[in-house]
Structure 1
Amino acid sequence: MESTSLVTHEQLLSTMQQYWGYEGFRPLQQEAMQAVLDDRDSVVVMPTGGGKSLCYQVPALCKPGLAVVASPLISLMKDQVDALTACGIQAACINSTITADERRQIAADIRSGSMRVLYLAPERLLSERMLDFLAGADVSFFAIDESHCISEWGHDFRPEYRMMKTLKESFPGVGVHAYTATATETVRLDIAQQLGLVDPEFLVGSFDRPNLNYRILRRADRLAQIQEVIARHPNESGIVYCIRRADVEAIAEQLNAAGVKALPYHAGLSDVQRQQHQEAFIQERTDVIVATVAFGMGIDKSNVRYVIHAGMPKSLESYQQESGRGGRDGLEAECVLLYSSGDLVTWKRMLGDLPDAAQQAAMRSLDALDHFCTGAECRHRMLVSYFGQELEAEECEACDVCLGTVELVEDGTVLGQKILSSILRTGERFGADHNAKVLCGSRDKRVLEFDHDKLSTYGLLQNESIRSVRMWIEQLAGQRYLAKTGEYNVLKVTEAGRELLRGEVTPKLTKPDIADKAGPEKSSGSKRPRRADDWEGVDRELFESLRTLRREKAEEAGIPAYIVFGDSSLREMARHRPATLESFRLMKGVGDKKCQDYGEVFTQHIVNYCQQNGLEVEAMEVQVIAAPRREPPKNQSQALKDAFTLFAKGQTVNEVANVIGRAESTVQGYLEQFIREEKLEDPTAWVTGETARRIEAAIEECGTGGLRPIYEHLNEEVPYSEIRIVAACLQNREAA
């Protein structure tokens, strides 16, 4: 469809940079924004942490009028509004927590045209009074957040969402856009139908979250397994999910007794208690929240570093949503699920009261989750496959299977052949339970009735438990060596299974007791190589001190800590140690408003830390110097402009510092910026020719991965400031 919007790609990007401090689009963000600008209805599915909110927030600033967002929870609305306000955007929510005076002011701001984004619960949005009011406002579009709630095929169906199709009738020509993190094709189509969308754009991102490390452990000593994960993440935020309220209370109490700051969260607590516990977690006054599934939707906390399922969730949709609350900032997070077949029984009993159609769908989802837990395939591959996608990489490098922490049976081929042979000998007429009993030599009544105790494969695996053999049958089915057919899941050997019988392929079958045996070495976290945007080059002590400063500023403002800055922003600050507002503005997640509000206090904190610890500020890596994350802000300070003029005349850092009245460390940053922008190739105005040649030789020897190896290669005789100058000129020379 040809774009009808006058807003350009550059304007969208400029808006993101100005308000949010982001230098580029994530996958499908630009397409989703364009659908909003073109007034074309859309259904947008992006993984948690994929930047869904920006898909409607950025167009809300580029498009005239008021953007109206339907959101299911008060806590979610408040966090979104706080985050927008912190970025300098006028936004508000109307719910039961605001006063009559506040409602009147919001209405006045809407009428004046100054309000850009309004958040409402579905029930309030669809009230006659609100619809009448919005009819008189200039509504630019509607955004339906958590839109999977509209589908009875989704995992969190809410009947009140069903009425929102009236928006298309009440506001003809106004775009309606649905956003969710988890939806199968059936759910996506149902969302579009229920909302009455007209020729909608379906934008479905990858369901894979490569920064999440998935592990499945058979539940043994539950508390010890939970504590093991927490111990790998000291002072970091995590969620522990349980099925039952009693488990929530017990685990929270046990963790506190062990010295871990943990709070419970479930529907049995009062509204006030739940709100207090949620705020304590979001504002980092407690490290761990132990919760039922009542906790989660609307938790926009970006720096959850681990999610533990102490009990199985009820579906893969639920698991993707709940585990996806880890690592929303794009940094690594650990997702551990403690598996027990007893949880299957619990869920089947809890779901037994559903209507027939809903119950069948729920049971299918539960079976898919069970296969996910017992399978020996890449967890990332299994998860995205459930949502109809394929994982491109052969191995994800971020799950227990691909990282080799799952122990496989020594000869999977022989074991698989024994199982398939037995299924053929029973005539491919039975399910997994019966076939497992035959293989284990059971004296079960039906086994004897069919004379299956006389088969050559009877008792072939008599030293194994029926549960283990059932697990292997499920793994063979998951790897397509067996097919489940008909109403009773009768097992049939597939063509791939016949290849296995001929010894042409080898299945992955796990040792049944692997999780119980797993010690600290086996079950420790990911062996996956750290990514460049994770901890590489980060001063851990500086990062922790910046976290403390962030928490103090958040408490002063009465907002969650992650709204001030996310962990990824703090890590970048602790890596590059910006000492000027200009370089601070270049950090990820620092927009104009946040630079104005927090720049001075954060840069001063960084300078003080570096002075106390003998570190240089402005520790930019060569690669970052050569390719800055984005152009410097156009509203340059007068000091920076004066410095550029003086550098152009060949003055030194010391001379310029004396003229403009700035510290030499600050002026050094100005010089490096000047070299980049002017694309200078000769450093000898600021570094002697002999020193420049020594540095160039060291760079050729050590490469451009970081400055420390170059500094050490030069016997620590040449200051970092001169190395950075020469490196920047070298990069300009290579790019010319």
Structure 2
Amino acid sequence: MSTAKRALKKYFGYDKFRPLQDEVIQSILEGEDALVIMPTGGGKSLCYQIPALMMEGVAIVVSPLIALMKDQVEGLQANGVKAGFLNSSQSTQVQNEIIEDIHEGKIKLLYVSPEKLVSQEFYYLLLQLKVNLFAVDEAHCISVWGHDFRPEYSKMAYLKKQFPLVPVVALTATADSLTQKDIINQLGLNEPKRFLSSFDRPNLSLKVAPGKDKFKSILGFLRQRPHQSGIIYCLSRKACEGLSEKLRNSGVNASYYHAGLSPEERAKRQEDFINDDIPIICATIAFGMGIDKSNVRWVIHYNLPRNIESYYQEIGRAGRDGLKADTLLFYSFSDVIVHRKFIEESALKEVSNAKLERIQQFCDAQICRRKILLSYFGEHLEEDCGNCDVCKDPPKQFDGTLIAQKALSAIVRLKEQVAAGTVIDVLRGSSRQEVLSKGYDKVKTYGAGKDVPHQDWQQYMLQLLNLGYISVAYDEGNALKLTEQSREVLFGERMVNLVHLASMKSEPTIKPIVKTTKQEAREGLFEALRKLRLQISREENIPPYLVFSDATLHEMVDEKPTSEFEMKMISGVGERKYQLYGEFFINEILEFEQKKNKEAKKSSQSFYETYEFYKQGYSVDEIAQIRKVNPVTIYSHLASLYEKGADIDLTEYLNPSEIEQIESAYYSLNKTSSVKDLHLFLKEDIEYYKVRLGISYLKVLSSC
């Protein structure tokens, strides 16, 4: 593993592995099959790329989209890794050149489509090569239970039959327990090790909003996030086109993408998005899987997704670099109707309907949304996340342990074989024919919850489901099952908090994003580095994030490296990247800091001039007139000078009542708000410059 770490640093610029990466790599190096479930942006690719670089021979990577394999190969080549791909977009001559490079050992990772992999000609090529591993990316596509089923994936079982000694690793970001079992069976994996990373993406904020005034809400959302790249998912082609046109008419640089466009036009728009020429794309679900773009800062769902897997996969395209990213889902009943219509035309009606109900329940929920997401994938989160709309504006809760115990006990006594409706009927003591004919009126919990209305029981069962105390077996008629956590509740080892139904809000609010002073101060250097990155990407005709990711730029802003050693300590700066770009970014940082120091010196001189006039007895208006600036600027100088210890009497400009009001507001907002926030809090009754003076007065007073 020390060799693996050296490869990690040399090629990718990282000092250590993320959770589970080293374990997966070790397993592959030992020749074992593996199933790897990691969230988007969790580092799945490194799990097979590092072993491929360490082992003799070539690694074959199966990728479902041409754009995706092209993107990943370009990224590897930018890091100095020998990689290539074979697909239908290439001429015969180009493919022959690639094959020749493979035979000569010039390619360590070869990306192919599932169609290419299962072709006879490729099979003959494999027989001539020393294949060290097979990596099946987006492995959920092999399962009918997965959300992007691809029939050609189901033919890949021949890999283990024809190459039994070559390890096969299947990787995906979203797979519930049914899909995981199916992936293993379909690929014929040999006693694979399962590596299930946490599905938690704490950098993603989660919000659900009612589906009205959507365009107005989106415009407000975008104006708080200038220069940011994002995706708006729409349910129909018409919605994509209409929304992008309205955005363009409002001055937003946006385009649309859907399967109705020609292949050339789709490729062009995807390239424009990847290269930041078009920062915002309105798209159907056909868009996204083929994008490895790390600097997508937000994802909006204009319409309700068809299931939680799709929703999780799509929001996962934001914040792949680990930095803060936002998600917003608009929810309306009309979207449910459209999905129901599609489901009626599908082959898996029962399962599809059940999964649609789960995404509806996610939207309607009044508990931490991240808990619901993680519970769906079999993961339990003890504490509320604090980064979803429900957590930020929580409803009232109560001790619902007894209610939970009644429900769980009923499920046990019904042998975990019935759906939620029947469980509620038993709890309510229903005399329905189905309940009586099956003898459910004889179980001990029959009628144990008759004091709770049926509609309330539905809500409580939904909360227990979302909290992870029960699960749904879609392949067993939606029967309710207990989980590990629910057994602790039954035996009195765990308390359950439920939401008071009366406190549930029908319309979650969307609060504006407020940047801190520290965030605003960092933006200047980040913007300078971002422009340099864009310039380099234009010159080299590659996506900006292949130069450096947003996360790497932010670390440069924090650390301000000014030497080769310091720059190579930045995460994401490997040897190849430093050779290509390191000095350019060092020079940009030096120039920015020099300019900032000059401005600070000039500002300091300006403050000194103001102070000299003040000491000579000139009024603020007189100083402003002499210096040809706005009086507000002079007041700002005096406030800053006062904080630095200058002999200035600020009470000359503030009366006791104003000081008292400013003080009250200052401490009410926990002394962290800006002058603008305080000014608005005071309803603009006190002039802006006086609020600025008042804050300085209180800061000095509190430090004495």
Q: Could you tell me which residue of structure 2 aligns to residue 371 of structure 1? A: 361
Q: Does 1:194 align with 2:186?
A: yes
Amino acid at match of 1:305: R
1:249 match = 241
Q: Does 2:53 match 1:61?
A: yes
**Which deviates further from its counterpart, 157-166 or 214-223?**
214-223
Q: 1:120 matched to which residue of 2?
A: 112
State the shift of 1:340 in Å: 1.1
- Map 1:338-349; keep pairs closer than 5 Å: 338-349=330-341
Per-residue Cα deviation, 1:217-238 (whole angstroms, up to 9, x for no partner): 1122010122222222111011
* Alignment check: 8 A CA contact 1:44 1:203 kept: yes
Within the alignment, does 1:352 sit opposite 2:335 as a pair? no
| Residues 15 and 526 (structure 1), Cα distance of their counterparts in 2 relative to 1, 3 Å cut | farther
Aligned-pair CA distance for 1:476:
7.5
Give the count of matched residue pairs.
Answer: 558
Q: Residue type matched to 2:281 in 1?
A: I
- Equivalent residue, structure 2, for 1:217: 209
Structure 2 partner of 1:203:
195
Distance 2:456 2:223 in 1: 31
DSSP-derived class of the 2:156 partner:
helix
**1:536 and 1:467, CA in 2 relative to 1: closer, same or farther beyond 3 A?**
same
Cα shift at 1:342? 2.1
Q: Which runs of 5+ in 1 are unaligned?
A: 1-8, 421-427, 436-459, 499-503, 617-736
Structure 1 residues 34 and 538: alpha-carbon distance in aligned structure 2, compared to 1, 3 A threshold: farther
Separation in 2 of the partners of 1:484 and 1:207?
19
* Aligned counterpart, 1:276: 268
1:592 aligns with 2:598: no
1:46-445 equivalence runs, <5 A: 46-355=38-347, 358-392=348-382, 394-404=383-393, 408=395
1:480 & 1:187 partners in 2: Cα distance? 19
Q: Is the 8 A contact 1:372 1:382 kept in 2?
A: yes
Distance 2:538 2:544 in 1: 8
Is the 2:398–2:499 contact (alpha carbons within 8 Å) kept by the matching residues of 1? Answer: no
- Aligned match for 1:550, one of 512, 515, 533: 533
Question: Which of the residues 545, 568, 583 maps onto 2:566?
Answer: 583
SS of the counterpart of 1:61? helix
TM-score (norm 1): 0.69
Which residue in 1 is equivalent to 2:511? Answer: 523
1:101 Cα deviation after fit: 3.2
Whole-angstrom CA distance in 1 between matches of 2:118 and 2:470: 50
The correspondence of residues 642-661 of structure 1 with structure 2, limited to 5 A, is: none
Structure 1 residue corresponding to 2:544, chosen from 549, 558, 561: 561
CA contact (8 A) 1:412 1:509 kept: no
Distance 2:180 2:479 in 1: 28
> Runs of at least 4 residues of structure 1 off by over 3 A?
408-413, 428-432, 466-490, 494-498, 508-514, 535-538
Q: CA deviation at 1:523?
A: 2.2
Provide closer, same or farther for how the CA distance between residues 470 and 346 of structure 1 changes in structure 2, counting only shifts above 3 A: farther
Match of 2:195, SS state, is strand
Per-residue CA distance 1:60-97 (angstroms, 9 max, x = gap):
11111101100000110111110000000111011122
How big is the alpha-carbon RMSD for the aligned residues of Structure 1 and Structure 2?
A: 3.9
For the Cα contact (< 8 Å) 1:151–1:187, is it kept in 2? yes
- The alpha-carbon deviation at position 410 of structure 1 amounts to 10
Question: Would the alpha carbon gap of residues 225 and 511 (structure 1) be closer, same or farther in structure 2, given more than 3 Å must change?
Answer: farther
The separation in 2 between residues aligned to 1:23 and 1:599, in whole angstroms, is 17
1:582 CA drift (Å):
2.1
2: CA distance, partners of 1:548 / 1:600: 15
Alpha-carbon distance, 1:470 to partner: 7.9
Equivalent positions of 1:3-82 (< 5 A) are: 9-82=1-74
**Does the CA contact (< 8 Å) of 2:378 and 2:468 recur in 1?**
no
Structure 1 contact 240–310 (Cα < 8 Å) conserved: yes
Instruction: Look up the SS of the partner of 2:379 in the other structure.
Output: coil
Read off the aligned partner of 1:43 and give its amino acid letter. L
Between the aligned partners of 1:489 and 1:172, the Cα distance in structure 2 is 38
**What code does the residue aligned with 1:34 have?**
Q
Partner letter of residue 547 of structure 1?
A: R
8 Å CA contact retained: 1:40, 1:200 = yes
TM-superposition CA deviations, 1:5-39 (whole Å, max 9, x none): xxxx2111111001100011111100111122111
Q: Distance in 2 between matches of 1:483 and 1:396?
A: 21
Where does residue 440 of structure 1 map in the other structure? Answer: none
Identity of aligned residues (%): 40
Cα 1:218–1:134, aligned 2, differ >3 Å: closer, same or farther? same
Q: Following the alignment from structure 2 to structure 1, what is the Cα–Cα distance between the partners of residues 69 and 487?
A: 53
Q: Would the alpha carbon gap of residues 164 and 410 (structure 1) be closer, same or farther in structure 2, given more than 3 Å must change?
A: closer
Q: What is the alpha-carbon distance in structure 2 between the residues aligned to residue 380 and residue 41 of structure 1?
A: 31
Q: Distance in 2 between matches of 1:573 and 1:401?
A: 34
Shift of the 484–87 alpha-carbon distance from structure 1 to 2, 3 Å rule, reads closer
Q: Which letter maps to 1:543?
A: F
Residues 480, 496 of structure 1: 8 Å contact kept: no
Q: Mark the CA change 1:537 to 1:173 in structure 2 (over 3 Å): closer, same or farther.
A: farther
Unaligned runs of 5+ in 2: 408-417, 426-451, 481-485, 491-495, 600-704
Q: Deviations over 1:212-270 (max 9, x none)?
A: 11111112201012222222211101111111111111111111111111111111111
The separation in 2 between residues aligned to 1:481 and 1:173, in whole angstroms, is 41
Query: Once the 2 structures are TM-superposed, how far is the Cα of residue 359 of structure 1 from its aligned partner?
Result: 1.5
SS in 2 for 1:68: strand
C-alpha distance in 1 between matches for 2:356 and 2:243: 25
> Per-residue displacement from partner, 1:634-675 (whole Å, max 9, x unpaired)?
xxxxxxxxxxxxxxxxxxxxxxxxxxxxxxxxxxxxxxxxxx
Q: Which residue of 2 aligns with 1:611?
A: 594
Partners in 2 of 1:429 and 1:284 — Cα distance? 48
CA distance in 1, matches of 2:541, 2:556: 23
Partners of 2:94 and 2:176 in 1: CA distance: 40
Tell me the distance in 1 between the aligned counterparts of 2:38 and 2:235: 26
Q: Which amino acid aligns with 1:200?
A: P
